[in-house]
Structure 1
Amino acid sequence: MASSQNVDLMGNVRALAEDALPILMPGARVAPDTDEVIIAVPGGRARVSLVPLLRLCLDQPRQMWPDLLADWVAGIRRQLPARVTPDELGPADVGQLRLRLTPAAATAEANSYLAMPFGEHFTAAVVINRSDRLEMLTIAQAGQLGREPVELIRLAVRQTVQHELAALDIRDHAMPGGGSVRLLAADGNPFVTTALMSLKRFLPDAAEYGALVAAPRYSAVLLHRVDAPVNDSAVALQRLAMSMFTAADDRCSDEIFWWHDGEFHPVRIVAGEAGTVQVRVPEALAAVVERLDRDH
C-alpha cells in the first residue's frame, strides 16, 4: 500500500477513535500531534500507538472497523492499571494479587497505592489481576485485607513468579553488528517486566560486567550480556527497543539501562553530526568501562 494511502487510512482511523473513545474509554483522547491515544493512569499518562489498530483495519471492510476498535480498546484496558475508588474496586481477593514493575512513579502518586521504589528508575506496584483489567491496590484497600503490607508484597511476588513468569518464551536473537539479545516475552502478559527484579536468573551466562536491559513493553524484556565495549551493542539494542516501544499497545519504557551489581544505570544514545551517535554511560560505571576496554 502506498504511503499516501496509509496517511489517508490513518486519518480515518484517527477520526473513528476520536468519535468512539468518549464512550469506550472516557477520559482518553487522540493526541493532536502524534498518532497516539493518551490515557490517564496512576503515575501520569500512558501513550498508546494507533499503528496496531491501523494494521488491524488495513485488510478489513470499513463496516468492521468499529468492532476492531472496540476489541483493541478492550485489550488496552486489560493492560493498563485502573484508577478507581475503593467502592468501585470491590473486595480484593488475595489470590489475585500480583507485583508489576513500572517506570518510577511520582512519590505522591506511589504513596496512594501499595508500591515501593525498585532502584531509582522503577516502581514495584501491587496490583489486582482481575479477569478484565488490572487495578492498583490502594493503601486503604490493602488495610482491609487484614495482612501487613510487607506480607501482601511477598504474596504478590510469589504469585507473580508462579503464575506469570514460570512459562515465559525465552529466545536468543542475533543483533546487527554482532552479539545476541535475549528476549523474554509472553503475549498479553502485563507482568513480564517484573522479571527484572530477578534479572540474573534470566541471563545466559555469568555476567561479570552486567547486562544491557530494555523494557519496551510490559509483555517483553530485552537483555544483552555485556562481554565487550558496549557502544555498538547499546545502539543496536536501543534501535530494537524503540521499534518495539513505538509499535506496542502496552508501552513500558523507551530507555535502555546497564544493569551492574544489582543497579540499573541509564544509558543515553545521542545523535551526533553526519549521522553519528554517541553512547553516554553514567560516571558510576567508569571503572567497569575502563576494565572492559582494557580486557578487550
Structure 2
Amino acid sequence: MTKTPFDPRQVLDLVEDLLPVLLPDADLDPAGPLVKLHWSRGGLSSSAEVGLVELIDRCREQPNHLWPRTVDEWLHGVVEEIGVATDEHLYGDVAARQRATLRPTGWAAATGGVLADLTVPFGRYFEIVFGIQSGSDWRRLTQVRRVMHGLHLPDRPSGLDLTLDGLTGLTFQPVDGVPWSVLHRPGDPTVGMALVDHERLLPKVGAGRGALLAVPASDLLAVCRVDRRDDMQRRADEFARWVYQVHLNAEDPCTAGVFWLVGDLLAELPVDPLHSPAVLLPKPLQTPVWRRWSRLRR
C-alpha cells in the first residue's frame, strides 16, 4: 500500500478554518508559512508574525486524523501566549528581563506545553532553557512568545549574557561539616548557569585533577574539589548522597547527577546513592595522590 505524501497545505487549510474563531484579528500567509497576529489589551497594541513550521512538522509526524486537534491546541496556545506577553509588558522592558536556567537534557520537552520552549543544548548532559523574569515569577519563554516580544531581532540583548552577568560576584560558601562548597541564591533559578561560564565564574574549579560538581537545584551549584590527598571514594560517596537529598527536597530540582569537571571536560559519573559504593569513580580518581607519588618514587 502506497503511503500518501504529506501535504503541508492541508495543515494550513485547518489553520485558516480555525483562525476566524480563535484569532479573529490574525491573518494567514501561506507563503511564509506564518500567521500575522494583531492584538490589543488595555492600552497595549502589538503585532507579530509567528511561523508555522513547528506546527507543520508536528503534524508531519502524526496520522491525519490527529491534525485537527493538534492545530486547535496549538492555536489555543498562541491565544494564551498573547495574554502572557501582555502581562509581561506590565513589568517594564521585556528584553532586559530575559534569563536562562540550566536543566538536564530533555527537561523542556518532557515538562513543556503545547508550544515549544526556547532552549539550546549545553554539552551532552544539559540544556539551557530561556525565560522572562516578571516580578518574583520566572516564566519559561516559548519560541512563539520570543517572536511576539521581538526578541529574535538582531539588536535585542542576549538572555544568556544577561544571565551570566547577573551571576558575577556570586561566591562559594562552605557547607558545615563537609569538604565542599556551594553557590546558592535562594529562589534564583539562574545559579546553575554558572557552569556554562565556569572559566570565569568558577575559577580554577577544573584545574589539576578537577572537581566533583552537581546542580541538585536550579538555585544551587555544589563543588567538591578532588585535588587533595584524601580517600576519593569516601568523599565522592558522601557528596553523592548529600546531592541526592538536596535534590529530593528542592523546591525547584535540577538533577541528582554527579559530574567530574576537569579542564573543559565534563563527565557524568554513574551514581546509586542507595548502595555502596555510591559512585563509580573513573580510574584517575581511584588512587589517592600520595599513593601514586609513592609508586613513582620506587
- Give the structure-1-normalised TM-score: 0.58
Q: Which residues in structure 2 correspond to 1:53-202 (within 5 Å)? A: 85-91=80-86, 93-105=94-106, 112-148=116-152, 155-163=158-166, 165-173=167-175, 176=178, 180-200=179-199, 201-202=201-202
Q: What one-letter code is carried by the residue in structure 1 that aligns with 2:85?
A: G
Cα distance in 2 for partners of 1:199, 1:100 equals 15
Higher helix share: 1
Cα distance in 2 for partners of 1:205, 1:120 equals 20
- CA deviations on 1:105-127 (whole Å, 9 max, x unpaired) are 26856892221111111111111
Asked if 1:267 corresponds to 2:269, the answer is yes
Larger mean Cα displacement after TM superposition, 99-108 or 230-239:
99-108
Unaligned runs of 5+ in 1: 1-82
Structure number with greater Rg is 2
Q: What one-letter code is carried by the residue in structure 2 that aligns with 1:128?
A: I
Residues 193 and 219, structure 1, Cα contact 8 Å, conserved in 2: yes
1:294 to 286, 292, 295: 292
CA RMSD of aligned residues (A): 3.4
Residues 204 and 225, structure 1, Cα contact 8 Å, conserved in 2: no
- CA deviations on 1:265-284 (whole Å, 9 max, x unpaired) are 11123479xx7425314xxx
Q: 1:206 to 1:213 in 2, by over 3 A?
A: closer
Residues 206 and 263, structure 2, Cα contact 8 Å, conserved in 1: no
Pairwise CA distance, 1:212? 0.5
Residues 127 and 136, structure 1, Cα contact 8 Å, conserved in 2: yes
Q: What one-letter code is carried by the residue in structure 1 that aligns with 2:127?
A: T
Identity in percent: 20
Relative contact order, higher structure (CA 8 A, sep 6+): 1
Residues 175 and 236, structure 1, Cα contact 8 Å, conserved in 2: no
Question: Partner residue of 2:259?
Answer: 257
- CA deviations on 1:91-112 (whole Å, 9 max, x unpaired) are 4511110111111126856892
Residues 184 and 221, structure 1, Cα contact 8 Å, conserved in 2: yes
Residues 207 and 225, structure 1, Cα contact 8 Å, conserved in 2: no
Q: What one-letter code is carried by the residue in structure 2 that aligns with 1:162?
A: D
Report the number of matched residues.
Answer: 204
Q: 1:143 to 1:289 in 2, by over 3 A?
A: farther
Question: Partner residue of 1:224?
Answer: 224
Cα distance in 1 for partners of 2:151, 2:283 equals 44
Cα distance in 1 for partners of 2:129, 2:154 equals 12
Question: Partner residue of 2:246?
Answer: 244
Larger mean Cα displacement after TM superposition, 257-266 or 285-294:
285-294
Q: 1:214 to 1:270 in 2, by over 3 A?
A: same
- CA deviations on 1:165-224 (whole Å, 9 max, x unpaired) are 135352134665xxx212111112111111111223324666122211111111111002
Q: 1:222 to 1:199 in 2, by over 3 A?
A: same
Unaligned runs of 5+ in 2: 1-77, 89-93
- CA deviations on 1:10-44 (whole Å, 9 max, x unpaired) are xxxxxxxxxxxxxxxxxxxxxxxxxxxxxxxxxxx
Cα distance in 2 for partners of 1:150, 1:120 equals 28
